[in-house]
Amino acid sequence: MASLQPVRGTHDLLPDDSRRHRHLAETARRVAALYGYDEVATPIFEFSEVFKRTLGEVSDIVTKEMYSFTDRGGEEITLRPEGTAGIARALISGGLSQSLPLKFFYHGPMFRYERPQKGRLRQFHQIGIELLGVPEPQGDVEAIAVGARLLAALGIADRTRLELNTLGDGASRTAYRGALVAYFSDHRAALSDDSRVRLERNPLRILDSKDEGDRRIVQGAPPLADHLNAESADFFAQVRAGLDDLGLAYHVNQTLVRGLDYYCHTAFEFTTETLGAQGTVLAGGRYDGLVQTMGGPSVPGVGWAAGVERLALMPADPPPPPRPVAVVPVGGDAERAVRKLAEELRGAGLIVELGYRGNLSKRLKRANKLNARFAVILGEDEIARGVATLRDLDSGDQSDVPLSDLAARLAAPA
């Protein structure tokens, strides 16, 4: 029988990985809170229509990557491939449009059936924010600032670059779409198969094609900036001015696009050269038409998402876990006493390891293996005197400490 393995594209989060993921999520949660974002959690699966409406029937995610199934009740269900659609659905079904503006932070697993590679799994995790109900350019500036502060808090801001573009409003995009179709139609024969399909359905997506032949053709494509109306140009100017005011450097990348019709105005990505092909670590943009596309009211929105697995490949090691205290009994009669003492110390907020077997020497060896800071040794003599022997496992020094003072002594800074 073949040995059991995790499903391709999934990964066990063992203690070191879990600690790194927790550090990333907690850092993001803390940074988002500085800007007033409250945490929300939507279900891990939704009716498939939620994603088909928001991601588009012909998008790569919907046609190739969604994990969809029919449940026992005959409902078409999909494991969420991203977080924004569920939050937009929650706004509609929860009647939250009466409470705008809303600021949400989220964290959790997502699912896409795609070729696994470094930093890209079939079950992966994202952190993200959504700012709903703010149509002004300041909303875009704030969303980008939250992302920049997160990367700085993780110690990786200096290894990323902010790329920025504008998609304009609906009128600008319509004008630009016509110019793109005319241009790419003249090069149809040289386009990749995927881009020929996009030419009919979503020509903006050709701009971010990864095919080398497509990329050469894209270099000669008309720029979107030439098709912006005055309102769109002013909106983008205000976003850039806001970033300048905050001292956030950016590079305007005119091939940075979002292909779906409800995206508008600002698109942005923080990219890095340290992860090879998977260079985007945090990406977002404005999506003023999303909620309305789903059947809700007209609610402007802007947000971003970041892949936890990719971020985890970049930063220095997170802070080490707190070092435990090892409580060690000497003699069988001390076993009951140390169990009670261990619970009292845990009640005081200390991390306590209680060995399950072995003599003093073996238990101290285990304490060192666990990187314990102190060993609390309790035998019949200590019990009779109402003290514990406290051994500093770094220096080797030890002393008797009254049991009544032990928790305070252990909690004191080293």
- Strand 68-70: give its sheet, edge to edge: 45-47, 76-79, 68-70
**The domain boundary residue, chosen from 261, 279, 312:** 312
Q: How confident is the model at residue 98 (pLDDT cuts 50, 70, 90)?
A: very high
Tell whether 301 and 392 lie within a shared domain.
Answer: no
* 295 in a structural domain: yes
Q: How confident is the model at residue 107 (pLDDT cuts 50, 70, 90)?
A: very high
- What is the mean pLDDT of the segment spanning 123-128? 96
- The string of pLDDT tens digits covering residues 244-278 is 999 999 999 988 887 676 889 999 999 998 877 66
* 6 in a structural domain: no
Residue 194, pLDDT score: 84
Domain span including residue 395:
325-411
Q: Report the range of poorest mean pLDDT among 94-108, 132-146, 254-268.
A: 254-268
Q: Are 124 and 110 in contact (CB under 8 A)?
A: yes
pTM for the whole structure: 0.87
Tokens of 124: 């992966």
* 104 in a structural domain: yes
344: pLDDT strictly greater than 80: yes
Q: Is 1 helix (H, G, I), strand (E, B) or coil?
A: coil
Q: Is 36 helix (H, G, I), strand (E, B) or coil?
A: coil
321: pLDDT strictly greater than 50: yes
CATH (domain of 386): 3.40.50.800
Nearest in space to 80 (alpha carbons), one of 114, 50, 40, 117? 50
Tell whether 30 and 105 lie within a shared domain.
Answer: yes
Tell whether 385 and 237 lie within a shared domain.
Answer: no
CATH (domain of 283): 3.30.930.10
